[in-house]
Amino acid sequence: MGKGKGRKARAEASGALNGEQAQPPLIPLSDAELRQAGKTLADLIRQLRDLKANHKASREAQREARDALAAEIEAVASTIRTQGR
């Protein structure tokens, strides 16, 4: 048994989909359906781009808060060290 057959057997045994199950039969779209699918795709891409922008802004805000907290921790630790107790 070659490596390819072993992997395939393991994939099928683990419940992985074969090619027929993974791809439904193609049904031609009407012109209107195709236009709507294009609009839907554009909307989803826009949503993803907006989501990424929001996440980036959130990460930047978290980084600023983290840096401020680290600076405050260092200031308090420095005060304690200078007291020598």
**CA dist., res. 19 & res. 37, Å (int):** 24
CB neighbourhood size of 8 (10 A): 13
Nearest 10 degrees: CA dihedral of 79, 81, 84, 85? Answer: 80
**CA dist., res. 55 & res. 30, Å (int):** 37
**CA dist., res. 42 & res. 55, Å (int):** 20
Whether 43 and 35 have beta carbons less than 8 Å apart is answered as: no
Q: For residue range 15-71, list pLDDT tens digits in order.
A: 555 555 677 778 888 999 999 999 999 999 999 999 999 999 999 999 999 999 999
Higher pLDDT, 84 or 77: 77
* pLDDT value for 7: 58
* pLDDT value for 1: 47
